[in-house]
Amino acid sequence: MEVVIVESPAKAKTINKYLGKDYKVLASFGHVRDLPPKDGSVRPDEDFAMSWAVDTPSSKRLGDITKAVKDADGVILATDPDREGEAISWHVLEVLRQKRALKDKPVRRVVFNAITKKAVLNAMAAPREIDAALVDAYLARRALDYLVGFNLSPVLWRKLPGARSAGRVQSVALRLVCDRELEIERFVREDYWQIAALLDTPRGEGFEARLTEFGGKKLQKLSIKSQEEADSIKAMLDGASYKVLSVEAKPTRRNPGPPFTTSTLQQAASSRLGFGATRTMQVAQRLYEGIEIGGETTGLITYMRTDGVQMAPEALDQARAAIADTFGERYLPEKARFYSVKAKNAQEAHEAIRPTDFARSPDKVRKYLDADQFRLYDMIWKRAIASQMQPAEIERTTVEIEAAGDGRKAGLRAVGSVVRFDGFLAAYTDVKDEDKEDENENRLPEIRDGETLAREAVNVTKHTTEPPPRYTEASLIKKMEELGIGRPSTYASTLKTLEERDYVTVDRRRLVPQAKGRIVTGFLENFFRRYVEYDFTAGLEEKLDRISDGQLSWKDVLRDFWKDFSGAVDDIKELRVTDVLDALNEELAPLVFPPREDGSNPRICPKCGTGNLSLKLGRYGAFVGCSNYPECGFTRQLGDNGENGDAALDGNKELGVDPVTGEEITLRSGRFGPYVQRGEGKEAKRASLPKGWSVESMDYEKAMALLSLPRDIGQHPETGKLISAGIGRYGPFLLHDGSYANLESVEDVFSIGLNRAVSVIADKKAKGPGRGGRAAPAALKDLGEHPDGGAITVRDGRYGPYVNHGRVNATLPKGKDPADVTREEALELIAAKAGKGGAGKAGRAKKPAKKAAAKKPAAKAKTGVE
């Protein structure tokens, strides 16, 4: 018997069926070792020696693998066909060697791009050695990311309180988003006018022609800059005669694009389906690992982390057969199409993302898939089919027209297109093409050279230039790929990190940089510029690719990088915070000092009139404050234009008096934004304005409603226990019997009735029962699957935030931000809690025993091998 090691248990189950009783397939559950997040995990002074830690769940998995290998005849490493997969195989092999489990047993590495019986058996028949160059590239990348993050993030914490982290790729992606925002802020709008004439042929058929030339000068988009100039031209055209100078019909061909790569799949799924990058990869992973069809689990698509654009020869044959069968022979080219990679740093030669069997059309598998799976599979199948179809044949007609009158001449142009043969468009149309008008709707009537045209009307339209749009996830991924920054497998996690760090938010699918993200970017651009430059980051990616090709030594690359990087970090450590703030005041002037409606100096304090405003740093991040502090207590949230600050309130605004207590209700502004307060002193009750509530809209009734929270709704008809509604740090909620349920809006807190509240609580309970049948508090963050199965989540309980897996709840360390918890940290906390002998009330009842038992499991979880 031979032991086969794959990454996921779903894949292990499927492959075990394919291989039979002579093989035992085990899952590593992803990476089995990682660099522990502490000083010394990568040691430049020891020629970049690296220490690897094995957490408790991975120790158990590795124990099972080691035991199986000792009784086996050989080992087959069958992890994913990319750098990460190669690295996991290498890690497993290193651990097996250290545990002396291998002896002289043969070790083989196999890779397959699809989880089908044929692909797996073919891979088993063609084993190879572990690719040392790919492993070296992984080690270099992991060491670089550690050195940047572990050395730069602490500098941010000291110089910019509230900033959470910096990363080699993460910081450059954030800079792209912030630079675009700066472009938008500095953009100066311009008005311009366009003119078009509605004309008729002698046969009475109408069409539109746009003005392109006037008075012997070619007109550009912004050439007509005033209403007066536009009206003057219109007056001339109203009295002009029109004649056709030329009619040119030119046939063109549009070729299909290649099948999807990781980045183009993420872009298309965002544009067409509204999927985020993370959601796209999760759905694609399920399609790759397999769907139950006819009693057998079958992978529907090939491996979804790839830069390759080619398809295997047998896939080309399948695609061509499907085209002939589905669309007809006319849509089939004489020979198969071949594509080349255009990305700056294309990865190893993998196949494009395609169906594993083109005969499985979307309609045939629809009943086996959920909605997301079907929509993504449908798009992948159609794009791959279209890539092998005939080009679309389009006839483009351009008509040049002369207008003469009042001793002046003007030129107009009409353009129309007609699709003569749809070709690949019958299967797949890019979203950019769908955004345009239908080709056939642009069709022109019959227009003859030299004939005279009649004028129906001349229309003048005013336009205003628009700033460049904010990035979407799709356009940011496309830009990163164009610049050669990051890898396809990292785009989704990079974007997710930016959101989790509160550096960006997503508003109507657009990435909006938050003040915290702009502060970090401004700091790095001023004091660490080289390491957020696009060319430098792309150049480093190119070196990593050359390592994977065996052209560079990975330690040489690390030495070159560390020499300059460590010096730059040392220089930054000597910076004074005042120097940082002065630089950021200038760099982020549009954000820190937004223009005022009255035109006054935005850098002068609006409260005292003599102090200068400047960035200040507090425990929770940056804000704007007055230089006359403490005499002047003006503060404003960064990015607030003053409408929610003391400038708008002019001190405290009196709203009324509480009829019960007799205390005054006031509207105030603090460092963290506007709030209402009842009474004075430490015992005064305060409530922040919820998101979406403005200072202008606040009145006595709203203030009293906020201060009265939590609001009692009534007793639950089944339990007899009180249901209340409130607003917490994570938004509006219902509370019943110690369990929380999220509400959709702040308004629901004040309006929801008992019947609907009971329904919301029941829905929440149905989605996820906790211990004792009670609904668990709402998940604040999903950290993915636990190696033993089941979800890992971060939740907020009555005793504070904690991580949850099954019946194990592990409280977060004091001061740890729930949004900042990583999967690895959660696994350690869960493992430590499980090792202490339980969870929940039973665990809390044995505090002394838990403390005594805590050290050994925790130390074991941290132990690694070098």
Residue pLDDT, tens place only, 33-83: 988 877 788 999 999 999 998 888 888 888 889 898 888 888 999 998 888
The rounded mean pLDDT for the chain is: 83
Backbone phi and psi for residue 404, each to the nearest 5 degrees, phi listed first: -130, 135
Query: Please, which contacts does 480-483 make with residues 24 or more away whose CB atoms are closer than 8 Å?
Result: 480/173, 480/176, 481/263, 481/343, 481/344, 482/344, 483/344, 483/534, 483/537, 483/538
Residue pLDDT, tens place only, 392-416: 999 999 999 999 988 899 999 999 9
DSSP H stretches of helix in 332-472: 362-365, 371-386, 431-434
Distance from C-alpha of 412 to C-alpha of 399, rounded to nearest angstrom: 8
pLDDT of residue 326: 93
CA distances to 514, 515, 796 from 158, rounded to whole Å, are 20, 18, 28
pLDDT band at 778 (very low <50, low <70, confident <90, very high): low
Given a contact cutoff of 8 angstroms between Cβ atoms, the answer to whether 241 and 405 are in contact is yes
Q: Are residues 275 and 362 in the same domain?
A: yes
Domain boundary among 464, 479, 503: 464
Q: Is residue 620 flagged as an active site residue?
A: no
Q: What is the mean pLDDT of residues 742-748?
A: 82
Q: Which of 13-17, 328-332, 766-770 has the lowest mean pLDDT?
A: 766-770
Q: Do the domain assignments include residue 696?
A: no
Distance from C-alpha of 513 to C-alpha of 525, rounded to nearest angstrom: 15
pLDDT band at 767 (very low <50, low <70, confident <90, very high): low
The enclosing H or E element of 843 equals: helix 840-844
Candidate list 18, 138, 303, 740, residue with the active-site label: 303
Distance from C-alpha of 587 to C-alpha of 182, rounded to nearest angstrom: 10
Domain boundary among 130, 148, 168: 130
pLDDT of residue 251: 93
pLDDT of residue 621: 66
Given a contact cutoff of 8 angstroms between Cβ atoms, the answer to whether 263 and 481 are in contact is yes
Q: Do the domain assignments include residue 668?
A: no
Domain with 503 in it: 139-187+469-580
CA dihedral (275, 276, 279, 281) positive or negative: positive
Q: What is the mean pLDDT of residues 657-674?
A: 80
Q: Are residues 269 and 217 in the same domain?
A: no
pLDDT band at 836 (very low <50, low <70, confident <90, very high): low
CA dihedral (808, 812, 818, 824) positive or negative: negative
Answer whether residue 849 shows pLDDT above 50.
Answer: no
Residue pLDDT, tens place only, 204-239: 999 999 999 998 899 999 999 999 999 999 999 999
CATH code of 229's domain: 2.70.20.10
* Of 491, 540, 562, 253, the residue nearest 394 (C-alpha): 253
**What does the DSSP assignment read for 725-781?**
EEEETTEEEEEETTEEEE-S-HHHHHH--HHHHHHHHHHHHHH-B-GGGPBPPPEEE
What percent of the chain is helix, strand and coil (3-state, nearest 5)?
40, 25, 35
CA dihedral (488, 492, 494, 498) positive or negative: positive
Q: Are residues 292 and 372 in the same domain?
A: yes
Distance from C-alpha of 237 to C-alpha of 199, rounded to nearest angstrom: 11
* Of 623, 642, 611, the residue nearest 584 (C-alpha): 623
Backbone phi and psi for residue 290, each to the nearest 5 degrees, phi listed first: 130, 145
Q: Do the domain assignments include residue 28?
A: yes
Answer whether residue 682 shows pLDDT above 80.
Answer: no
pLDDT of residue 852: 39
Q: Which two tokens stand for residue 752?
A: 């929801």
pLDDT of residue 349: 53
Q: Are residues 440 and 512 in the same domain?
A: no
The enclosing H or E element of 687 equals: strand 685-688
Q: Which two tokens stand for residue 171?
A: 């910081």
pLDDT of residue 517: 87
Q: Do the domain assignments include residue 842?
A: yes
Q: What is the mean pLDDT of residues 338-343?
A: 72
Q: Do the domain assignments include residue 598?
A: no
Q: Are residues 211 and 282 in the same domain?
A: no
pLDDT of residue 162: 63
pLDDT of residue 815: 66
Given a contact cutoff of 8 angstroms between Cβ atoms, the answer to whether 69 and 21 are in contact is no
pLDDT of residue 344: 47
pLDDT of residue 777: 57
Q: Are residues 459 and 478 in the same domain?
A: no
Q: Do the domain assignments include residue 675?
A: no
Q: Do the domain assignments include residue 824?
A: yes
HEC profile for 51-101?
CEECCHHHHHHHHHHHHHHHCCCEEEECCCCCHHHHHHHHHHHHHHHHCCC
Q: Do the domain assignments include residue 318?
A: yes
pLDDT of residue 148: 86
List the beta bridge partners of residue 512. Answer: 505
Q: Are residues 171 and 215 in the same domain?
A: no
Answer whether residue 857 shows pLDDT above 50.
Answer: no
The enclosing H or E element of 794 equals: strand 791-797
Phi-psi region of 662 (alpha: psi -120 to 50; beta: other; left: phi over 0): left
- Higher pLDDT among residues 154 and 374, named by residue: 374
Answer whether residue 771 shows pLDDT above 50.
Answer: no
Answer whether residue 770 shows pLDDT above 60.
Answer: no
Most confident of 482-491, 715-724, 741-750: 715-724
Q: Are residues 47 and 109 in the same domain?
A: yes
DSSP H stretches of helix in 71-189: 83-98, 117-124, 132-159, 170-186
Residue 238, classed as helix, strand or coil, is helix
Q: Are residues 216 and 313 in the same domain?
A: no
pLDDT band at 639 (very low <50, low <70, confident <90, very high): low
Q: Are residues 291 and 224 in the same domain?
A: no
The enclosing H or E element of 409 equals: strand 408-421
pLDDT band at 799 (very low <50, low <70, confident <90, very high): low
Q: Are residues 50 and 150 in the same domain?
A: no
pLDDT of residue 631: 84
Distance from C-alpha of 102 to C-alpha of 186, rounded to nearest angstrom: 64
Q: Are residues 19 and 70 in the same domain?
A: yes
Residue pLDDT, tens place only, 98-134: 888 888 889 999 998 888 888 889 889 999 999 999 9
Residue pLDDT, tens place only, 345-365: 445 457 899 999 999 999 999
pLDDT of residue 839: 40
CB atoms within 10 A of CB 847: 10
pLDDT of residue 862: 31
pLDDT above 90 covers what percent of the chain?
Answer: 32
pLDDT band at 861 (very low <50, low <70, confident <90, very high): very low
Domain boundary among 341, 357, 386: 386
CATH code of 567's domain: 1.10.460.10
pLDDT of residue 507: 83
Question: Based on the structure, what is the number of domains in the chain?
Answer: 5
- Higher pLDDT among residues 379 and 85, named by residue: 379
pLDDT of residue 227: 95
CATH code of 8's domain: 3.40.50.140
Q: Which of 145-154, 379-388, 447-456 has the lowest mean pLDDT?
A: 145-154
The enclosing H or E element of 259 equals: none
Phi-psi region of 814 (alpha: psi -120 to 50; beta: other; left: phi over 0): beta
